[in-house]
Amino acid sequence: MPDKIIDPHYSRNATIIVSDQHLGSAASRPHCFAKFLDVLIAKPPKRLILAGDLFELWNANYKRLGPAEYRVVNKILSLAEQGTHLVYIPGNHDRAFRGFRKVTLGKIKIRNEYTLKSHHKRYLVLHGDEFDAFTSNHVVLSLILDQAYVALIKFAAFCKRFVGLQISLAAQKHSQRYASIVEKIRKAALRYAHSRGVDGIIVGHTHWSELVHDSQGLVYANTGDWLETCSFVVVDEDVSVHDFRLPE
């Protein structure tokens, strides 16, 4: 399970990997992500990888793109100005940017797949939808389920704020059906990593943060999301997964 922390601890040689902010979605939490970026700005890591679905281009209401979302983008650019190398890997919800996969703008690289080297080890970083046969084969149904997921998050927030009722989205998301999909994605990602001869693979997409070592010691890490868990991966001497939370 990820560590729940307020102040992330990492060295300046570390790589931070995040995904699935879905800026523009009714369920996005730009204020929380902006606070996390403030922590990184105060202590810039060597590299920040945005592993997909930074923007919500499927179901976005562009009227929701306001000061909070622009603040996030500006803070990301501020990190680059301080010397942090940025890698942006578009996901399936912001796949429109995949056409720029070979573009490098100063310290900002856009790639569909990135090989991260750290302490004599190599890790592949992708969004992860490449391993999701369900999304690829059922595009319309995926859109409908995505809308339902956003509606569930909004309903849970309403209940917590106005009724005082805490609804466990984790219990809904971690149903047997969804767990089966996540397992298939994990296995497909690990097979791909083995075929590439790397030490591990790091993805997002599933909104299910986890860290797994297979029987041969290969690492599979998932970044989770910034709609519920607000989680991230740190790659330094090893790979770790954490949840970020604001001070109460």
Q: What is the pLDDT of residue 31?
A: 94
pLDDT, residue 68, reads: 93
Least confident of 30-34, 103-107, 108-112: 103-107
Distance CA 210, CA 132 (A): 17
For 240, the 3-state DSSP assignment is: strand
Question: What percent of the chain lies above the pLDDT cut of 70?
Answer: 77
Over 60: is that where the pLDDT of 166 sits?
Answer: no
CA distance 227 to 96: 21
If one compares 158 and 103, the residue with the highest pLDDT of the two is: 103
Virtual torsion, Cα 124, 133, 53, 4, nearest 10 deg: -70
The full set of domains in the chain, from first to last, is: 3-244 (3.60.21.10)
What average pLDDT does the segment 28-45 reach? 95
Q: How confident is the model at residue 107 (pLDDT cuts 50, 70, 90)?
A: confident
Reported confidence tier of residue 140, pLDDT bands at 50, 70, 90: very low
Average pLDDT over residues 5-25: 87
pLDDT at 218: 98
DSSP 73: H
Residue 84 backbone phi and psi in degrees, to 5: -70, 130
- Residue-wise pLDDT for 40-89, tens only, equals 999 999 999 999 999 988 765 666 678 999 999 999 999 999 999 999 99
Q: Are 40 and 78 in contact (CB under 8 A)?
A: no
Angle separating helix axes 67-81 and 30-42, nearest 10 degrees:
20
Question: Do the beta carbons of residue 69 and residue 33 sit within 8 Å?
Answer: no
103-119: burial string, b at 16+ Cβ within 10 Å, e else: eeeebbbbbbebebebe
